[in-house]
Amino acid sequence: MPGVEFYAAPTSLEEAVQRLAEGNGSLYAGGTDLLPQIRSGAKVFERLLLNIRRVPELTGVLRTNGTIRIGALSTVTDILKDSLLQESATILPEVADCFACGQVRNSATIGGNICNASPAGDMIIPLLLLDAEVELASWTDGALTKRCMPLSDFFVGPGKTRILPTEILTAVKFAAPAAGFVAGFRKFGARPAMDISVVSVGVSATLAENTLRNTRVAFGAVAPVPLRGRETEAALEGKSLQKTVVTEATHTAREEVSPISDVRASAWYRKELVGVLTERLLTHVNQSAD
Ligand SMILES: Cc1cc2nc3c(=O)[nH]c(=O)nc-3n(C[C@H](O)[C@H](O)[C@H](O)COP(=O)(O)OP(=O)(O)OC[C@H]3O[C@@H](n4cnc5c(N)ncnc54)[C@H](O)[C@@H]3O)c2cc1C
């Protein structure tokens, strides 16, 4: 491990944040982003390598009253198989089922997907639809301290978030979806599996008498950060999904995003994909209402 002088594998959150508070620490969860980035030279290890995989407070999916809490160390496989999520927030296992392959899913954690802050991070899209917030822990003034922040405020740019170097993302939390909640996710990659999203789109709403309420739209890989599609949401809110509404919302979605051209797709192609995927999702949501 080049650059690593100390290695620690704490067995409690308190111990983990205390070690991190010493400064110059790299956190290691599943390693599926970190190790390729180290090997390619995109990142370097800090002096202390902190393996957080043995911290029990970072594991598990729990429902307390109306709130669902997913521990940061939950892997994509855990999310795919979790019975509480399959019942109450199906969109998360659905997205997990579009993620990489079994081998990567077994290591990749939800906390790592969020903290890696890729504009194409797949698990972030359903969490934006669910209005999730992140829970961050640190050792401050001699005590274990926690703060929460809306996920939509967490991202600053590609690979950059508002987490402090002394903080660990402990969990992601959201209110359990209400009755009538429908949601869908589509991603497009050059291959059907094992591909990073060229574009991803998520749509959710609560359907009452065929009308969309609390509409949420989220886009991946079309901006420096994964983001909510506020204009598309406004074009859908309070409407029923007649053809004219779908056409207008699809047009709004295409116009709302400003992607870049890169090796994987041109900006024009990404905009077209946003339109196509949004239209397919709205058709899916409409069928869920029948
Ligand atoms: C072959 C392959 C296929 C992939 N396919 C997909 C895909 O389909 N969709 C997709 O979105 N991604 C994909 N990825 C990317 C990667 O698997 C995910 O982003 C994964 O969720 C990262 O989680 P991890 O636990 O491996 O993170 P790590 O690599 O351990 O960490 C990533 C970053 O987050 C930080 N970190 C991790 N956990 C915490 C925490 N709790 N608190 C604070 N900081 C933390 C680390 O310090 C590091 O900077 C793929 C990667 C590979 C190698």
The rounded distance, in Å, linking the Cα atoms of 26 and 1 is: 12
The rounded distance, in Å, linking the Cα atoms of 219 and 44 is: 30
Pocket test for ligand 1, best of 19, 73, 116 (most atoms within 8 A of CB): 116
- Percent of the chain's residues with pLDDT above 70: 98
* Predicted pLDDT of residue 189: 85
- Give 86 Cα–ligand 1 centroid separation in angstroms: 22
Write out pLDDT tens, residues 38-69: 999 999 999 999 999 999 999 999 999 999 99
Pocket test for ligand 1, best of 17, 24, 34 (most atoms within 8 A of CB): 34
- Give 196 Cα–ligand 1 centroid separation in angstroms: 12
Give the domain ranges of the chain: 6-51, 57-175, 181-289
Identify the residue whose C-alpha is closest to ligand 1 atom 6: 100
* Predicted pLDDT of residue 6: 94
The rounded distance, in Å, linking the Cα atoms of 203 and 223 is: 17
SS3 for 138? strand
- Give 137 Cα–ligand 1 centroid separation in angstroms: 19
Identify the residue whose C-alpha is closest to ligand 1 atom 28: 31
User: What average pLDDT score do residues 195-209 get?
Assistant: 91
Which of 8-12, 237-241, 273-277, 284-288 has the weakest average pLDDT? Answer: 284-288
Identify the residue whose C-alpha is closest to ligand 1 atom 25: 30
For residue 183, the cross-strand partners are 204
Write out pLDDT tens, residues 10-31: 999 999 999 999 999 999 999 9
Read off the tokens for 139.
Answer: 């050792």
Torsional sign, CA 250, 252, 254, 256 = negative
Architecture of domain 6-51: 2-Layer Sandwich (3.30)
- Interacting residues of 59 by C-beta distance below 8 A, sequence separation 6+: 71, 73, 74
Nearest-atom number in ligand 1 for the CA of 37 is 29
Read off the tokens for 85.
Answer: 């999520």
Q: Which residue has the higher pLDDT, 192 or 168?
A: 168
SS3 for 114? helix
User: How many residues comprise the chain?
Assistant: 290
- CATH code reported for the domain at 181-289: 3.30.390.50
Identify the residue whose C-alpha is closest to ligand 1 atom 46: 27
- Interacting residues of 129 by C-beta distance below 8 A, sequence separation 6+: 91, 183, 202, 203, 204, 216, 218
Task: Spell out which residues line ligand 1, taking CB within 6 angstroms.
Answer: 26-34, 36, 52, 72, 99-100, 104, 107-109, 111-113, 115-116, 121-122, 163, 168-169, 194, 196
Nearest-atom number in ligand 1 for the CA of 110 is 21
* Predicted pLDDT of residue 289: 65
256 close to 231: Cβ distance less than 8 angstroms: yes
Identify the CATH class of 57-175. Answer: alpha beta
Question: With 80 as the cut, is the pLDDT of residue 183 above it?
Answer: yes
Pairing assessment for the beta strands 199-208 and 143-150 based on DSSP bridges? unpaired
Nearest-atom number in ligand 1 for the CA of 76 is 21
257 close to 270: Cβ distance less than 8 angstroms: yes
70 close to 89: Cβ distance less than 8 angstroms: no
Q: Please tell me what DSSP assigns to residue 37.
A: H
Q: How would residue 210 be classed by pLDDT, with cut points 50, 70 and 90?
A: confident
> What are the two backbone dihedrals, phi and then psi, of residue 84, each rounded to the nearest 5 degrees?
-65, -45
Do 6-51 and 181-289 show the same overall fold? no
- Interacting residues of 287 by C-beta distance below 8 A, sequence separation 6+: none
Which of 219-223, 251-255, 283-287 has the weakest average pLDDT? Answer: 283-287
* Predicted pLDDT of residue 3: 86
Write out pLDDT tens, residues 124-165: 999 999 999 999 999 999 999 999 999 999 999 999 999 999
- Percent of the chain's residues with pLDDT above 90: 89
